[in-house]
Structure 1
Amino acid sequence: MAYEFPVRKIIHVDMDAFYASVEQLDNPELRGKPVAVGGGAKRGVVAAASYEARKFGVRSAMSGQAAKRNCPELIFVKPRFDRYKEISSKIRAIFLEYTDLVEPLSLDEAYLDVTENKFGNPSATMIAKEIRQRIYDQLGLRASAGISVNKFIAKVASDVNKPNGQKTVDPEDVPEFLEQLEIRKFYGVGKVTAEKMYQLGIFTGKDLKDKSEDFLKTHFGKSGKFYYQVVRGIHLSPVKPERTPKSVGAERTFSENLSSEIFMLERLEQIAHELERRLKKNQLAGKTITLKIKYSDFKLQTRAKTLSYFVADHSVLLETAKELLYQDALQNSVRLLGISVSNLNTDRGQESEAKEEAIAVQLQIEF
């Protein structure tokens, strides 16, 4: 089966263990040792782990205590986001020497459309190799890359030969590559969705491809169409230098669980002020306000309200969050609260991705 859709030359560059690698770069004593960026205290969370730490099962989003149990020799380092941003800007400058079509996903990864590039190089594979070498030569950091005909496949491919490797999926190889791929490695299929797919007998791309679009929509809602298309290599979203956020949020994890709503309101006021700052900095406002509650047993709950007008002011954000807090009785003591705003005043005329990631900024983690 030939690839039947517009073919671009897309590179997805993903830095290897970026935060931890920066710490090892700046502090030679950490090199070759298991390092976690984050905190090992009672409420500490691992933001990133070196490959030496990953061998012991240490992963991002893992509690610091659990990480320490897995790896008693683990070294915790506090994050330095200003330093990560500084290096990220230098990496991006390298990207821009090859193409203006650079779409950052985060500080450590980006898409590049090199279909037409500034060097006139017809080989996206060679461009990716050259970029990775330049990052290492200039910054001392390793990167991996995926190269293919669209963003989805390039991102999946970048994970195949990590760390410090790359994978090219040529147009004629797209069907076989996707059919043989384990379903949990499909970008957009998280742990919960993967478990649901396993229950439906879907373990590989081939299994997914055998399901009809109606079947997938029935079991996965709007995401069903996305799964139906990407397993067939259909992902038409272009590389967009300026990504349009779908939501902006702020949240806070507490050093001690909160059981008093009075204390929760104090925290919500702080979060609302931070969220207002972020919205106004980006000249954004939204109609839908969502309150995020994570309980002490790690159960997550969200409550949302859509207003008839766009808001960015902290007082409106706070009052709506209060209303949502009192909407139902709390199920347990609370370890995290967050407020996010969606349904933003961005350009609705732009093509949206089937699975666009929301921009959510964490206000504070207790390290």
Structure 2
Amino acid sequence: MQEPLIFDGHNDLLLRLHQHDVPAGKDGFQGAGGRHIDLDKAQLGGFGGGFFAIFVPGEKSLSNDMDEMLLSSYDLPLPPQVDWNDASKVALSQASILINLERDGALKICRNTKEIRECLNSGLMAAVMHMEGAEAIDPDFQTLDVLYEAGLRSLGPVWSRPTIFAHGVPFRFPNTPDIGSGLTEIGTRLIRKCNDLGVMIDLSHLNESGFWDVARISTKPLVATHSSAHALCPHSRNLTDRQLHAIRDSDGMVGLNFAVAFLRSDGRMIEETPIVTMLDHLDHLIEQLGEDRVGMGSDFDGAVVPEGIKTIAGLPNLRSAMADRGYNDVLIKKLCHDNWLRVLDLTWT
């Protein structure tokens, strides 16, 4: 099943291209390099596009500690806060990569849902410029204004390390997301600024105190682009049912994270994880949120995903599994892209 096309809530392709010094433009987006996402795999998998994250890795990579996520419990030390001068250079570099992909005709940076729908209808990959962790945003929001004009339409105030705006959750298992304090005063202003601009706020990686601060302040639907259900996997990165109910009540949505450590009940980062584990999370999210508020948020090119999928070329296996589970055509289409379009219609106005 290559249809309906999947519009995805999160990927880290720009980081991969940035780190490996891939040639700018379409030539660097072909089927080499072992990436989860490229043009050839998109054709095979029915990948229509999604949120392309700008992410600053910092000096110390979390990947050095990933072996600990094979254990039955873990608490990974997080990298320190990144300085704005360093972060802004990396962010602009990754934004430039996305802009050059657009110039070369590999994708289109979409600033509204009309453009996303046109891409899905034409077969051109749709890209929403997203920022995962706001280290590159200065306290006066001048960087935000510039990136908005370049196409930025979605922003997470934090990755898991702290920023001047908020605090994220560390990678702990088992644990709750109730770790640390919430938004700072500048973080409150950031939420209001994004509401005014029409930039979607991403709650993924934000700790529970920050989550409830955003829920109190924001005038827009609550959205977590790439998160899973804490009730099924008690990881600090996952959302509790109480959080899911708040998202439901705001008419927001959650994109299911494909990262296996956030899917498995044992919290382990093991590729040999069946697709049915993903369906268990989809079932729970649909039960808690309703079928109009759930989509995909893969974390492709930034995580270990189930072996039955591996890359976007394996997305037909996910569609087939949903059909085998008894999901009807209307529900599958909602999960693949309609629900993202619905919430973005509400958020970007």
TM-score bracket, normalised by the shorter chain, equals under 0.3
- TM score, norm. by length of structure 2: 0.26
More helix by share: 2
Q: Which has the higher contact order (CA 8 A, sep 6+)?
A: 2
Q: Which has the larger radius of gyration?
A: 1
Query: Relative to total residues, which structure has the larger strand share, 1 or 2?
Result: 1
